[in-house]
Amino acid sequence: MQAAGLGHALGKVRSALHAAYSMALKSEKAGREAFRVFHAEVNPIAGIDTYKKLSVPGERVLTIKELRTYLRGIDALTNPVMRLAMLLQIYLGGQRPAQLFRVTAADVNMDRNTITQYDGKGKRQHPRAHVLPLTPKTRQWMEELLALNTDAPGIFSTDGRSTIWPETASGVAHAIGAGAYRLGDIRRTVETEMGRLKISKDMKA
């Protein structure tokens, strides 16, 4: 992966392995029986470089024409949950798919017109609550999702058993754009467009 220049993917693999070994090492104290079978005594990933030089931040921003094509591609999706998930990722301000797709019915407050996401990034022990307002359009989409997934583990479920994986949504975005951009570029595009509309930095955040 390093030789192929796959810095972003390499960083994600390293992070996942580091977390797995870390969890195995803490299994005795945390009571995680499933990890004890590995008899982990050290975390071999801890001493491996994080590959920051290879993991270059993306700079791709969609043009207005590309964004319109992307939205038309989303509208053409036959799965209603996937279509609403992709639309909400944009219309809620370019949210991180991993956080958005974890939203459950309990995180939606129709009385206050809000949804709450939980940001578990970094070393914080408890995820930070991130409350988002619902506009009339996004409220309507939320109502549709709640009706479609009354018994599912989350409102973004296409099969009633599990929620959408960010990688699956990324594959949809990749297909719509014929490989010209990825889901992370959509988030950056939304932020750029909000800046063009002179929306304040605090509001964007």
Based on the fold, state whether residues 84 and 7 are members of the same structural domain: no
Q: Which residue has the higher pLDDT, 49 or 158?
A: 158
Higher pLDDT, 189 or 5: 189
Are residues 85 and 117 part of one domain? yes
This prediction has a pTM of 0.74
Average per-residue pLDDT for the chain: 87
Does one domain contain both 151 and 72?
yes
- Both 141 and 175 in one domain: the answer is yes
128-133 vs 108-109, strand pairing mode: unpaired
Q: What pLDDT was estimated at residue 68?
A: 95
What pLDDT score does 120 carry?
Answer: 74
Quick one: pLDDT at residue 35?
Answer: 67
Say which residue, 114 or 25, is predicted with more confidence: 114
Give the residue with greater pLDDT, 38 vs 163. 163
Asked if residue 134 and residue 183 are part of one domain, the reply reads yes
pLDDT in tens, 68-83: 999 999 999 999 999 9
Do 96 and 77 share a structural domain? yes
Range of the domain at 33: 1-56
| 48 and 133 together in one domain | no
Q: Is the pLDDT of residue 106 over 90?
A: yes
Asked if 74 and 39 sit in the same domain, the reply is no
> 48 and 83: one domain?
no
CATH number of the domain that residue 200 is part of: 1.10.443.10
Note the pLDDT of residue 14. 85
Considering the domain architecture, whether residues 36 and 113 belong to the same structural domain is answered as no
In the predicted model, what is the mean pLDDT of residues 56-61? Answer: 72
For the chain, how many structural domains are there in total? Answer: 2
In a shared domain, residues 99 and 11: no
Same domain, 70 and 43: no
- Average the pLDDT over 137-163 and give the result: 94
- What share of the chain has pLDDT > 70, as a percent? 88
- Domain final residue, candidates 14, 37, 56: 56
Encoded tokens for 178: 């014929």
